Structure 1
Amino acid sequence: MSAAEETGGESSPWGEVTPEAARRLLVAAVDAFAERGYHATTTRDIAGRAGMSPAALYIHYKTKEELLHRISRIGHDRALLLLETAADSDGTASERLADAVRSFVRWHAERHTTARVVQYELDALGEEHRTEIVALRRKSDAVIRRIISEGVQAGEFDVPDIPGTTLAVLSLCIDVARWFSAQGSRTPDEVGDLYADLVLRMVVAQR
């Protein structure tokens, strides 16, 4: 399944990207990077998938790395927004953690092709762009860590190692992009519900 055909009801992650040619190039780059890997993909590959010439690509993106950075930035911004929205909502720590995991997992399932590139091509970014994206990833880590910490303080969670548990939760969620298939037996919503339940079982204090 291509990035343009991914599962899910939310609007395209490239909705704010204009003009249309720039969006087509992002979708083509996601498909190429997901299929061949960043280093094995050429700008000619990307332009061809977008139905454009290599020269036309450079009007919108100066380098292949700039394309990857744009994809990564949009994806990480979206992921952080989902987590922050859940974390800042009303409800107990258990409810907010479940909502955060559910929405984070659902996005990685619905946008599995895009999410694989966003999450697993970090090392291909240049130093400046990589530093920027790592900072966004740390913000996501901080959001989950805050919810778990608040749950521990409230007596809802029994978590002796908050940083380690935060890493485990995020890793579990992100890995959905690696294995999810729209032809599989579970929908993105079902996977989100399953993972929310699993994470709560990891952290909720035993009565």
Structure 2
Amino acid sequence: MLIAATQAFADKGYHATTTRDISSLAGMSPAAVYIHYRSKEDLLFQISLIGHELSLGVLDAVRETDPVERTARAVASFARWHAEFHTTARVVQYELGALSPEHHAEVVLLRRRIEARVRDMISAGVRSGAFDVPDVGGAVLAVLSLCIDVARWYRPDGRRTPEEIGELYADLVLRMLRPAGDEPGTVPSAPSPDL
């Protein structure tokens, strides 16, 4: 049911999707939706929770202690996740406004945890002298925006694999954060950007 709802929301948008659309994709009757979920909005909430928890888990899985290597691996993994799971990520990121205030508040807590992970990585790099970032908050927003936006444009039949996108984005982020003249060097450079 969640997979069908995710696909329906991605295809038509939350507001244009009916429970009949979802049940049809799931191979069930329209009444079956309400056996498992209280409402269409509850389905969206469950998808949002799962998507945010999974993407947070991607960041939490990075264990490197060197701030440059940690940031490179985290960005590569986060961007790759948004490509591999672009349908879910698109729904999670772009249908957030359709959640009820209570559900929205729960998802915002997860989003703050994701933001905190990226802030911690960048701040560690600043403290170590590896990064030259006068506005850490602005850098956090830029990094998150860059990775999250992959879900909007990524196509499985495109020129780049999720792994190549991850490598490219890690390289771009390191170039953005490091002092002028420093060579990123920790992540192989990807081909010229023709996304």
Partner amino acid for 2:91? V
Please state how far the C-alpha of 1:90 moved relative to its aligned partner: 2.8
Structure 1 consecutive aligned stretches of length 4 or more whose deviation exceeds 2 Å? none
Q: 1:49 is matched with which residue: 25, 42, 49?
A: 25
Please state how far the C-alpha of 1:62 moved relative to its aligned partner: 1.1
Structure-to-structure mapping, 1:172-183, within 5 angstroms: 172-183=146-157
Query: What residue in structure 2 maps to residue 17 of structure 1?
Result: none
Partner amino acid for 1:110? E
Partner amino acid for 2:135? D
Deviations 1:182-202 (A, max 9, x none): 110100000000000000000
1:110 aligns with 2:84: yes
Paired with 2:137 and 2:87, the residues of 1 have a C-alpha distance of 28
Deviations 1:73-126 (A, max 9, x none): 00000111111222xx13311100011101111110011111100111100000
Aligned residues: percent identity? 61
TM-score by length of 1: 0.86
Paired with 1:132 and 1:56, the residues of 2 have a C-alpha distance of 26
Paired with 1:153 and 1:189, the residues of 2 have a C-alpha distance of 29
Paired with 1:204 and 1:39, the residues of 2 have a C-alpha distance of 43
Partner amino acid for 1:101? V
RMSD of aligned alpha carbons = 0.8
Unaligned runs of 5+ in 1: 1-24
Paired with 2:129 and 2:31, the residues of 1 have a C-alpha distance of 60
SS of equivalent to 1:205: coil
Paired with 2:142 and 2:136, the residues of 1 have a C-alpha distance of 10
Query: What residue in structure 1 maps to residue 123 of structure 2?
Result: 149
TM-score by length of 2: 0.91
